[in-house]
Amino acid sequence: MSISTGQPVIELKDVKVHHRARTGGLFRPNVVKAVNGVDFSISRGETVGIVGESGCGKSTLASVLVGLQAPTSGQVLFHGKPAIKRSAAMRKEFGRSVSVVFQDPATALNPRMTIQDILTDPLQVHGIGNAASRAAKVKELLALVGLPASAAEVTPSQVSGGQRQRVAIARALALDPDIIVADEPTSALDVSVRAQVLNLLSDLKARLNLGMVFISHDIQTVRYVSDRICVMYFGQIVEEGPAAQVFDNPSNDYTKKLLGAAPSLLHT
Ligand SMILES: Nc1ncnc2c1ncn2[C@@H]1O[C@H](COP(=O)(O)OP(=O)(O)OP(=O)(O)O)[C@@H](O)[C@H]1O
């Protein structure tokens, strides 16, 4: 397992995301504290796992990390600089530097586009290269995720679920990011291909010296890939530490409960 290198690419300081509750009422709180005072950082070269039960705020935290959601309060720093009121140039650089892989590639990829166009799109949006260099980059990306060059010619519905997630990972790598945020990247996949996709992510992270935020409700899966683990409970990080320490010597009761309830690897 690698060790983080250098200054964090993203840092969160006391970040809160509070929502007006969808259903209020006399005995229900009318504010949902989806994320409630989180400090977090991610650097190149490390994989940080975020684990917790459904509804604890993992996806909300992910959306703050990738810039899709502004926090209610707290600071988001990008290479040490406040990222909330970003200039257009910083927004562009943030979009290049931090990319995301969602849970379900079937909905994350445009079903009407060919895989060639899906992988070319981020390059075009960022004005990178010309037609020939983009075509070469698509070939390189497909090879990187273990897909044949011929996959470029088909649409996402013409490949398997595991291959679709490989396409989504290739798209996430198109702009040579520093950080990938993977939000439950194997949960929607057939059990038989989950380990392959996890291995691919780990391998890419090591080869490209990426930082990876790996989000899952499944602590066994998180352990499999992470250097460091953050355990979330009701919008807060209740335990954080090196993966082996959190696993072998958990200090928080909720972590112990998660570990006690953990089913066998990759089968939830
Ligand atoms: N836009 C919103 N308005 C109101 N409540 C919200 C909103 N978005 C999220 N929530 C609530 O915030 C809490 C955290 O949601 P979030 O999706 O971040 O959790 P999660 O850990 O990712 O769960 P899951 O694994 O089920 O996606 C939940 O109670 C959710 O219902």
Domains of the chain from N-terminus onward: 5-261 (3.40.50.300)
In this structure, the residue with its CA closest to atom 12 of ligand 1 is 34
Q: Is the CB of 134 under 6 A from ligand 1?
A: no
In this structure, the residue with its CA closest to atom 24 of ligand 1 is 54
Hey, which residues does 75 pair with through a beta bridge?
Answer: 13
Instruction: Tell me the mean pLDDT in the region 67-84.
Output: 91
- In this predicted structure, the answer to whether residue 192 has a pLDDT above a threshold of 60 is yes
Quote the pTM value: 0.91
**Distance (Å, rounded) from C-alpha 183 to C-alpha 203?**
18
- What's the CA-to-centroid distance between 60 and ligand 1, angstroms? 6
DSSP string for 58-102: HHHHHHHHTTSS--SEEEEEETTEE-TT--HHHHHHHHHHEEEE-
Q: Is the CB of 57 under 6 A from ligand 1?
A: yes
pLDDT digits (tens, 9 = 90+) for 108-152: 999 999 999 999 999 999 999 999 999 999 999 999 999 999 999
Q: Can you tell me whether residue 155 is helix, strand or coil?
A: coil
In this structure, the residue with its CA closest to atom 31 of ligand 1 is 55
Are 90 and 38 in contact by the 8 Å Cβ rule? The answer is no
Residue 65 banded pLDDT, cuts 50, 70, 90:
very high
pLDDT digits (tens, 9 = 90+) for 205-259: 999 999 999 999 999 899 989 999 999 999 999 999 999 999 999 999 999 998 8
Q: Is the CB of 24 under 6 A from ligand 1?
A: no
Using alpha carbons, select from 225, 189, 235, 220 the residue that is nearest to residue 58. Answer: 235
CA angle at 249 for the pair 248 and 253, rounded to the nearest 5°: 120
E strand or H helix at 211, and its extent?
A: strand 211-216
